[in-house]
Structure 1
Amino acid sequence: MPITPEHVGRTYPPAPPYEVSRAKIAEFAGALLDENPAYAGPSPVAPPTFAAVIAAQAWGAMFDDPDLGLALNRTVHADQGFTFHRPLRPGDLVEARLTIEKVRNRGTLDIVTVLVDLLVDGVSACEARSTLMHTREAADA
């Protein structure tokens, strides 16, 4: 059964908590070749796109849901956006909760928008919104 607009609003249990560390922030900033001093020093913050690392971990529950028929190998990450309430910092233990926000079906293409709320101490630090394009196998069409 393919994912449909009837699945909008489905929320999954959070991914295992992710602890933000100075080392992970430095590693991520280095991979970006971003030498912004805000990502180092005594009180570093994570680069904004670091949130995608944590948000993507919440996708597993959705891809493991047999009711949706999604397959990672037939999925393209088409768009990403963030709404920050505060930066992520070393020591933050982040809980990522995914909700399906929107589903559109066009032939064998499913366009799925998901919202992952990144919570620290139960309070939203960031909302990561992704649009995924998923093609169904011909037998599913």
Structure 2
Amino acid sequence: MPVNPELVGRQFPPTPAYLVGREKVREFARAVFADAPQHSDPEAARALGYADVVAPPTFAMVVQDHTLQQLLHEPGSGIALERTIHAEQRFRYTRPIVAGDELTATLTVTGIRTVGANAMITSDAEIADAAGEHVVTATSVLLVGGEGDEDA
């Protein structure tokens, strides 16, 4: 089944709040080799004006993943996980993510482009803090491969 074009414009419900933990930020920073002190040392982060350790920019993907799971499990979407790869990622920040933030995300499918038998699905996850203030927009492009020739 091809990707359902009716997904374009679809907005999914907000995710449950994700509490950003200091240790999660530290673990993520180590994993992506972000060794600046504000990612692991609360005092270094406070010296820069932050309340706690600052997440590396790509940390937003942790929160965005909850929205992408909604999309990937949408019945009738035509998205087969075994034929899907994460092709592109972008972030547009209003402010950095800091330990202690409670973040929710709302995903909107903004476009589907057909490339041969494949489909490229673009979506924006608007991530906001507990006060409802914008923190970051995480844009993903998923490449969904077309179904193979069953007779080959």
TM-score under structure 2 normalisation?
0.84
Q: Bigger shift: 99-108 or 123-132?
A: 99-108
> Shift in Å at residue 138 of structure 1?
4.2
* SS of residue in 1 equivalent to 2:60: helix
CA distance in structure 1 between the aligned counterparts of 2:144 and 2:35, rounded to whole angstroms: 35
Q: Secondary structure at the match of 2:34?
A: coil
Larger relative contact order (CA 8 Å, sep ≥ 6): 1
Structure with the higher strand share, 1 or 2: 1
Q: Which runs of 5+ in 2 are unaligned?
A: 43-51
RMSD over equivalenced CA pairs, Å: 1.6
Count of residues in Structure 1 that have an aligned counterpart in Structure 2: 139
Report the equivalent of 2:15.
15
Alignment partners' CA distance in 2, 1:14 and 1:138: 35
Please state how far the C-alpha of 1:119 moved relative to its aligned partner: 1.1
Q: Which residue is equivalent to 1:130? A: 140
Residue 2 of structure 2 corresponds to: 2
**In 1: Cα distance, 2:7 partner to 2:32 partner:** 35
CA contact (8 A) 1:4 1:105 kept: no
Per-residue deviation at 1:10? 0.2
Work out the CA distance in 2 between the residues paired with 1:50 and 1:27: 10
**SS at 1:58's partner residue?**
helix
Contact 1:5 1:104 in 2 (8 A): no
Work out the percentage of aligned pairs sharing the same amino acid.
Answer: 38
Q: How does 1:91-102 map to 2 (within 5 A)?
A: 91-102=100-111
Contact 1:4–1:104 (CA under 8 A) maintained in structure 2? no
TM-score of the pair, normalised by structure 1: 0.90
Q: Which runs of 5+ in 1 are unaligned?
A: none
